[in-house]
Structure 1
Amino acid sequence: MKNLSVSRRYAKALMLIGKEYGQTDQYRNELDEVVDLFDANPELEMAVINPLFDKNDRRRVLVAVLEKTELSRIVQSFVMLLFDKGRIGFLRGICDFYKQLADELKGVVHATLVSATQLSAEATEKIREGLAKRTGKDVILDVEQDPELIGGIVTRIGDLVLDGSVKTQLLNMRESLKRGEIV
């Protein structure tokens, strides 16, 4: 839980700066670049994060790497602040929260659509439009398949789950029959 609150707090702080300077999208992209850099070079990440190495040496390595990037001074300073505060290990979580905040600012929401079979592009688009109408936001839809649903679809938007799967309907029927209710 602490990890989430730390990540959220730092992401919000950078978002406030991004809004002030009108650079929210740029900062989003730059945070992604730093995460991608660590993903591509796990040895670098370990050298920067691992407390077994001398802190000054780790700091010098990070400064040298950041100077070779084309990151804005704000994001470079932000990454160095994370390092200095011992929060550099939270970078991925901060990046994820920052993306959520940036999407909220733009009125974008991510949803997951799970279906038993492959849906046509037309059906997927109709569902996306329906979700956009229901939420009042632009919806980015991630489509997945799960044959165990038997039929129908399940949609998740944040905490909201819209379950229209045959599997769930059958389970509900079974529970009603167990309780002696007429279906």
Structure 2
Amino acid sequence: MAKPSAKRYALALYELALEGSTVDSWHGQLKSCEEILNNQEFAGFLLMPKVSLSKKMAVLSHILPDLDEMVGNLISLLVSRDSAGSISSIVTEYGRLLDEQNGLERAHVRSAVELDESSKKSLVDQISNIVGKKIELTAEVDPTIVGGLVARVGDKIIDGSIKTKLQGLRKSLVEASLGEES
């Protein structure tokens, strides 16, 4: 979950981007900044107290020459407050706002076996009908769930895995056997 300050920064920048119709462009710029600021060597450079803020920003401007002024101002603010590490939370929140505007919900599915395209499409259609939004699906194979799948849509988790069903059955059997002993 994003820090309140990251949410405020993302919302402020997003609202400015809406005014200038630069929402998608700024999202791409923020992602580029995130990639650079999360680089260990560059992050170390930003933390050097002997290097002035203007020099740090000059290096960043050299790396990202097409950075919009407002995005650059946010990055400058983060760097000056030694908060460059919060860029990922800001990018995530900004992306969430963008998805919300576009009526898009992201779903992440873990399954025991790789899903074919028709299974993915079927899942997208079913989830879309449930949440009433367009769905962008990412899928990964997780053999530990034995069978079935686990889907995360927004802040909801739908667990249809065999592993969870077996754990539930085990718990029921243990409770039943304990009940017989009393």
- Within 5 A, what are the aligned runs for 1:26-175? 26-39=25-38, 42-48=40-46, 50=47, 52-54=48-50, 57-66=52-61, 69-175=65-171
Give 1:106's aligned amino acid. Answer: N
Task: Report if aligned partners of 2:104, 2:135 keep a CA contact under 8 Å in 1.
Answer: yes
Partner Cα separation in structure 1 for residue 174 and residue 158 of structure 2: 24
Give the TM-score of the pair, scaled to structure 1. 0.85
Q: CA deviation at 1:14?
A: 0.7
Determine the structure 1 residue equivalent to 2:180: none
Backbone CA RMSD of aligned residues: 2.2
**Cα distance change on mapping 1:180 and 1:12 into 2, 3 Å:** same
Moved more, 21-30 or 81-90: 81-90
**Structure 2 residue runs without a partner (length 5+):** 178-182
SS in 1 for 2:3: helix
Identity of aligned residues (%): 27
Task: Report if aligned partners of 1:24, 1:102 keep a CA contact under 8 Å in 2.
Answer: yes
Describe the superposition over 1:149-182 as per-residue Cα deviations: whole angstroms up to 9, x where unpaired.
221111111221111111111111122222229x
How many pairs align? 176
**Cα distance change on mapping 1:165 and 1:42 into 2, 3 Å:** closer
Determine the structure 1 residue equivalent to 2:6: 7
Give the TM-score of the pair, scaled to structure 2. 0.85
Q: CA deviation at 1:86?
A: 4.0
Describe the superposition over 1:5-57 as per-residue Cα deviations: whole angstroms up to 9, x where unpaired.
22111111111111222211111001111122335x54333222x1x4236x2
Describe the superposition over 1:99-158 as per-residue Cα deviations: whole angstroms up to 9, x where unpaired.
122111211111111111122110111001111111111111111111222211111112
Task: Report if aligned partners of 1:47, 1:58 keep a CA contact under 8 Å in 2.
Answer: no
